[in-house]
Amino acid sequence: MALLEVKDLTSGYGELQILWGMNLEVEQGKLTALVGSNGAGKTTLLRAIVGQLFPWQGTVTFDGRDVSKLRPYTKAELGLIMVPEGRQLFTDMTVQENLEMGATPKHSRIHMDRNLAKVFDLFPRLRERAKQTAGTMSGGEQQMLAVARGIMSEPKILIIDELSLGLAPVLTLDLFQALRRLQREEGTTILLVEQNVRMALKVSDYAYVVSEGKVDFHGPSSEVENNPAVREAYLGI
Amino acid sequence: MNLDVLIASAVDGLLIGFVYGVAAMGLTLIFGVMDVINLAHGPLIAIGMFGVYEIFTYVGMNPYLALIIVAVVGLAVGVLVYFVAVHRVIDAPPLSSLLSTFSVNMMIIGVGTAILTTSAYNVDFSLPSLDTGPITVTGTRLAAALIAVGVTALLYAFLYRTRSGKYIRAVANNRQAAELMGIPSTRILALAFGIGTMLAMTAGGLIATILPINILAGGTYELKSFVIVVLGGLGNPLGALVGGLILGLIEGLVPVFMKTTWVPVLEFGLFILILLVMPQGLFGRKES
């Protein structure tokens, strides 16, 4: 059974409907990519999954439980963690404090020291900057911290919105590799939302292509990568 | 001009300035965390005054012990006010929370006036004065200042050293992100409002040990708190303490040179000047 299942989900803002019956399954231990152009409804879908937005119809099932109506902090406690678009760090707090705030869910709080060592190992730069105020770091370092803060919560699923946005390609590659390592070594399930379709398909196991608030196409990433329609629309080949 | 008088007045003003600082910290903490300007601040200060007065007068407890009770009750009162009046308008436009906290203000003043009338009360308590040659420092004033410093240190230790305190800073910084990390923001906002109220009532209790009180007196200190908060930078507790000292100093020194009635004129003149020249306050950050 899938760890996260989205079924016939519709939602939007006020009168404006964005999601028109989304269906999505994220398998335990896999790195799943969600790709699509701007305005396809990717971020809206994530907001509905974590509870920043309520579903109008349909359900979100996580770990065998209907979580459609739960608030974000309750879902975080269950192990459903999102690294939001634009990082959303606690910019006035230090790097170390941001990481401590990541270790809020009870199951992660008791392992805080171990997890700190883990993220510092994954991102050595953060160890050097531990006492620095988060808002004063470069964009790339901030994105590292946002991901690291998510890892500190010991997520069952880590959802990452626009990992590569505004980052240099080299840095993006580093971050993708760190995620890959996390998935392989810790078995963390990851749902990655990306505009950089090429890279997302390369690094993921399974992929969903969405447009206009619906899933267009899904399959193992290698298949999606070779799909002629996808190649034409997103990879420019 | 007598130098001794000048020094004595400055010291007196500075000492009460610490207490003003604590009152202003309550106002600025609530604003910094949830962008709510608490117009019930003054009446809450007054409840603190009468808390100490009633416990001291009718139970016979030492006013400083009474202050501990007042502080704890203050936390509870603040949490109650948050859930009754603030939570439902927390995401509404600012006018809503102004109106709702002003309603709390009117309710407290209404009930308070009915029970206590607006006449002055006095906590009949004194400590030995400290005599150091030219200046004599009133014992209760010195004690109040020391307690105010202690309260400030405790507030900082709480905000920077404890998990709950860090949650308050995280929610103040980015409420949505805090929720995504599993921080229950509603509970944290209620706690922050509770602590802000606790600071207001503690300041009120300290004032009661120094000066005569009445149910409307809180209003005066609320206005002072606004001046201090603007002076020290909105949302900055340490700035509030320094702002309190500056205001205390003005209050101490101005009467040496001119009529006491000029004090509020100068205070609010300063208020407007700061708003015009450096609206981020002396220690505030520029809005990013």
Q: Domain ends where: A124, A139, A154?
A: A154
Residues of chain A with Cβ-Cβ distance to B183 below 8 Å are 73, 101, 104
Domain boundaries, chain B: 3-127+147-277
Residue A66: inside a domain: yes
Predicted pLDDT of residue A32: 96
Q: Domain ends where: A98, A125, A154?
A: A154
Contacts A–B by Cβ distance under 8 A: 70
Assess B177–A contact: CB distance below 8 Å, yes or no.
yes
Predicted pLDDT of residue B201: 98
Q: pLDDT for B73-84, tens place per residue? A: 999 999 999 999
Please tell me the distance from the alpha carbon of residue B198 to that of residue B38, in angstroms, as a whole number: 13
> Where do we find the tokens 């019956």?
A21
What number is the ipTM of this complex? 0.93
Query: A235 and A120: one domain?
Result: no
Residues 6+ apart with CB under 8 A from B47: B74, B77, B108, B112, B201, B204, B218
Report, in angstroms and rounded to the nearest whole number, the Rg of chain A calculated over CA atoms: 17
**Secondary structure letter of residue A3 according to DSSP:** S
Mutate to test the interface with B, among A43, A46, A70, A73 (most CBs of B within 10 A): A73
The answer to whether B151 touches B199, Cβ cutoff 8 Å, is: yes
Residues of chain B with Cβ-Cβ distance to A50 below 8 Å are 180
Q: pLDDT for B35-50, tens place per residue? A: 999 999 999 999 999 9
Query: A122 and A237: one domain?
Result: no
Flag if A135 and B288 touch (Cβ within 8 Å).
Answer: yes
Q: pLDDT for A96-140, tens place per residue? A: 999 999 999 999 999 999 999 999 999 999 999 999 999 999 999
Query: A68 and A111: one domain?
Result: no
- Closest residue to B166, CB basis, from A50, A71, A100: A100
Assess A88–B contact: CB distance below 8 Å, yes or no.
yes
The answer to whether B228 touches B244, Cβ cutoff 8 Å, is: yes
Please tell me the distance from the alpha carbon of residue B150 to that of residue B242, in angstroms, as a whole number: 15
Query: A121 and A24: one domain?
Result: no
Query: A180 and A113: one domain?
Result: no
Instruction: With both helix axes pointing from N to C terminus, report the angle between B262-277 and B237-257 in degrees, rounded to the nearest 10.
Output: 140
Query: A179 and A137: one domain?
Result: no
Residue A227: inside a domain: yes
Number of other residues whose CB lies within 10 A of the CB of residue A75? 23
Mutate to test the interface with B, among A71, A89, A92 (most CBs of B within 10 A): A92
Query: A31 and A101: one domain?
Result: no
Assess A72–B contact: CB distance below 8 Å, yes or no.
yes
Assess A70–B contact: CB distance below 8 Å, yes or no.
no
Please tell me the distance from the alpha carbon of residue B20 to that of residue B242, in angstroms, as a whole number: 10
| Alpha-carbon gap: B174 to the closest alpha carbon of chain A (Å) | 6
Among B residues 182-201, those touching chain A with beta carbons less than 8 Å apart: 182-185
> Where do we find the tokens 């939001």?
A84
The domain B3-127+147-277 is placed in CATH, from the list 3.40.50, 1.10.3210, 1.10.3470, 1.10.760, at 1.10.3470
Query: A162 and A209: one domain?
Result: yes
| Kind plus residue range of the DSSP H or E element containing A97 | helix A95-102
Q: Domain ends where: A154, A169, A187?
A: A154
Query: A73 and A161: one domain?
Result: yes
Instruction: Return the HEC string of chain B.
Output: CCHHHHHHHHHHHHHHHHHHHHHHHHHHHHHHHHCCCCCCHHHHHHHHHHHHHHHHHHHCCCHHHHHHHHHHHHHHHHHHHHHHHHHHHCCCCHHHHHHHHHHHHHHHHHHHHHHHCCCCECCCCCCCCEEECCEEECHHHHHHHHHHHHHHHHHHHHHHHCHHHHHHHHHHHCHHHHHHCCCCHHHHHHHHHHHHHHHHHHHHHHHHCCCCECCCHHHHHHHHHHHHHHHHCCCCHHHHHHHHHHHHHHHHHHHHHCCCCHHHHHHHHHHHHHHHHCCCCCCCCCCC
Closest CA to B172 of B153, B149, B148, B195: B195
Per-position pLDDT tens, chain B of length 288: 688 888 989 999 999 999 999 999 999 999 999 999 999 999 999 999 999 999 999 999 999 999 999 999 999 999 999 999 999 999 999 999 999 999 999 999 999 999 999 999 999 998 998 888 778 889 999 999 999 999 999 999 999 999 999 999 999 999 999 999 999 999 999 999 999 999 999 999 999 999 999 999 999 999 999 999 999 888 788 899 999 999 999 999 999 999 989 999 999 999 999 999 988 888 765 443
| Alpha-carbon gap: A185 to the closest alpha carbon of chain B (Å) | 23
Assess B234–A contact: CB distance below 8 Å, yes or no.
no
Query: A150 and A117: one domain?
Result: yes
Query: A27 and A62: one domain?
Result: yes
Structure token digits, residue A209: 């292509």
Please tell me the distance from the alpha carbon of residue B153 to that of residue B31, in angstroms, as a whole number: 20
> Where do we find the tokens 């205390």?
B248
The amino acid occupying position B39 is: L
Assess A101–B contact: CB distance below 8 Å, yes or no.
yes
Structure token digits, residue A201: 């398909």
| Percent of all residues in chain A with a pLDDT value above 90, rounded to a whole number | 79
**A92-117 b/e with 16+ CB inside 10 Å = b?**
bbbbbbbbbbbbbbeebbeebeebbe
**Full residue range of the structural domain in which residue A129 is found:** 89-154
| Alpha-carbon gap: B168 to the closest alpha carbon of chain A (Å) | 11
The answer to whether A33 touches A207, Cβ cutoff 8 Å, is: yes
- CATH code at position A9: 3.40.50.300
Please tell me the distance from the alpha carbon of residue B12 to that of residue B138, in angstroms, as a whole number: 8
Q: pLDDT for B94-141, tens place per residue? A: 999 999 999 999 999 999 999 999 999 999 998 998 888 778 889 999
Flag if B180 and A84 touch (Cβ within 8 Å).
Answer: yes
| Number of domains making up chain A | 2
Of all residues in chain B, the one with the smallest CA distance to A109 is B163
Of all residues in chain B, the one with the smallest CA distance to A150 is B181
Residue A84: inside a domain: no
